[in-house]
Amino acid sequence: MNTDKLISCVVEGIEEVKGSKINILNLKNIDNVVCQYFIVCSGNSNTQVNAITNSIKKVVSKKIGEKPHQIEGLENSKWVLVDYIDVVVHIFVEETRNYYNIEELWEEAQSTLFENKF
């Protein structure tokens, strides 16, 4: 799997349904991590978090034929994790994102923040 293409598809899926505050954390230079990248984004509601999750799955499947290894958190959709092995996507309702603040936990990772296009 081409990781750069996967990341591009995930970002496209997020942007298609107006997910916000997209942040790519490059974890490759950190010892003992379970993946190469985290992609973190926000939705305004549980409904939008579900829409972002579905959009990511659709775009990635259509463009590169990959399916997530695992998806967790759809029960309440405050924090959904979509696991593509090398890339793990965290989709948050803003309040939950602020509470867990995973970007600060992984502050030694190289961070790339995307500006919203809308």
Per-residue confidence (pLDDT) for residue 118, from 0 to 100: 53
Q: Which residue has the higher pLDDT, 115 or 103?
A: 103
- pLDDT tens figures, 26-71: 999 999 898 999 999 999 999 999 999 999 999 999 999 999 999 9
pLDDT-derived band of residue 114, with 50, 70 and 90 as boundaries?
Answer: confident
Per-residue confidence (pLDDT) for residue 3, from 0 to 100: 94
Kindly give the residue spans of alpha helices, DSSP state H, lying in the chain: 3-16, 46-64, 94-100, 102-105
Q: Which domain holds residue 109?
A: 3-113
CATH code of the domain covering residue 7: 3.30.460.10
Q: Is 44 helix (H, G, I), strand (E, B) or coil?
A: coil
Per-residue confidence (pLDDT) for residue 117, from 0 to 100: 60
Total residues belonging to the chain: 118
pLDDT-derived band of residue 115, with 50, 70 and 90 as boundaries?
Answer: confident
- pLDDT tens figures, 1-15: 699 999 999 999 999
Is 70 a domain residue?
Answer: yes
Residues forming a β-bridge with 61? none
**116 has pLDDT over 90:** no
Is 9 a domain residue?
Answer: yes
Per-residue confidence (pLDDT) for residue 71, from 0 to 100: 98
Domain count, the chain: 1
Is 118 a domain residue?
Answer: no
